[in-house]
Structures are given as structure tokens and as C-alpha cells.
Amino acid sequence: MRVILRTVGELSITLGVILMLFCAYLLWGTSAYTERMQLVLQQELTEEKPKDDKSGKIAKIELGKAVALLRIPRLGRDYKYAVVEGVDQEHLKKGPGHYPGSAMPGQVGNFVLSGHRTTYAAPFNRIDELRRGDEIIIEAREARYTYRVTSQDIVEPNEIDVIAPVPGKPDISPIRSFITMSTCHPEYSAAQRLIVYGVLKKTEERKV
């Protein structure tokens, strides 16, 4: 019996160490990957604005490529993430993702973003701290867009109306520019979604 108890105790300690190392990897190890990808994405944003050869309009951004730079002053002067096109797992490992098919920055409709809350640098870990009137700044290649937070909500994962062109009102055509940010809730769980809503308040065109 003494041998059995000692063996069980040793196995429990070993398992505990393995779990601790795994948790450490999830919290810090995955961040290293995101930080590397962010350097690549942010470099993309310094390159020339993509053009459509025929129309001269901004071309559709490919999945996995940089969309714009996200800044949130409330979360600190150093808060800065390149937004990647796409919200699949491979995309969100790189940083906050833009829902394909939703509005682009500054466009009429809903510019929808999703991001991790606990792993892969946890870009949306603190968006629950945002309050009405806080700025969400999107620095795109063509302009700088300043949105202001209007509200927060907690919804079930299947409540997709939040990403409609008019958030929460899928039957209405938009006449304004919105932003919606989504992440898991509560922390370390995917049981629900934390949603932050905002509206466009200011557009500053970039000088050519």
C-alpha cells in the first residue's frame, strides 16, 4: 500500500508539473509566435496601398494579410496590434482578425473584429475595461478612423446578429459606420462572448 501511495503521489506531481508547463506555454509561449507575426503584419502596413489596376480602388485584402493597425488609448500608449484578414484559428494566432464580408475600416456598415482573450498575446484581454466614449483608433493605409465606444454586451456564441451591418438589427440597412469587437467570456472559457460596440466619429484622410 505504501508503495502504491508513493507511486500515485509521484505521478500526481509529474502530472502537475506537465500541466503547469502546458499552461505556461499557452499564456507565454504562444505570445512569442504572435509577436513575430505582428512584426510581419505591421511591416505590410508600411508598404504601398494596394490598388485595383482597373478602378484604382483599394483591392480586396487576402486572407492572412494585414488590414489596418488597431490602437486603444484606454488600454495604454503601447497598445498596438495589426489586424489580420480572417477569423479562423490560423488567423487569430497572428492577432485580432477582421470578419471577411463585414465592412472595411470607415465604410458604412459594421467593421467586425475578433481576438483572443488569454492566449496568443491576448489582444482583447482587457476590452472589458472600455467605457462609453472611449476611442478605438483604426489606422488604415488610406485614412485614420476614430470610433467611440457606445456599449458592451455579453451574448451566447450563436447570437450572430451582433455582427450584422447594423449590430443586433439584421433587418435594417446601415447608414452609419459601426465597429464591433468580440472575444470569449469569461476568461479561460468559450461559454459566451463579450462584445464591445462603437460608432465612427472622425475620419482623417492620409496625405498622398
4 within a domain of the structure (yes/no): no
Q: What is the model's pLDDT at position 69? A: 97
1 within a domain of the structure (yes/no): no
Residue-range definition of the domain harbouring residue 60: 10-205
Q: Which CATH number fits the domain that encloses residue 150? A: 2.40.260.10
| Top mean-pLDDT range of 2-6, 157-161, 204-208 | 157-161
- List b or e across 87-125, with b for residues whose CB sees 16 or more CB atoms inside 10 angstroms: beeebbbbbbbbbeebbbbbeebbbbbbbbbebbbbbbb
Mean pLDDT across 43-50: 79
If 0-12 CB within 10 Å is exposed, 13-18 middle and 19+ buried, where does residue 41 land? Answer: buried
Look at strands 81-85 and 97-98 and give their pairing: parallel
2 within a domain of the structure (yes/no): no
Confidence check: pLDDT of 25 > 60: no
127 within a domain of the structure (yes/no): yes
177 within a domain of the structure (yes/no): yes
3 within a domain of the structure (yes/no): no
Q: Give the closest residue to 120 by CA, choosing from 56, 208, 183.
A: 183
* pTM for this prediction: 0.84
> H or E segment at 37?
helix 30-45
pLDDT band for position 53 (cuts 50, 70, 90): very low
Q: What is the model's pLDDT at position 110? A: 98
133 within a domain of the structure (yes/no): yes
> H or E segment at 139?
strand 135-139
76 within a domain of the structure (yes/no): yes
How many domains are there within the chain? 1
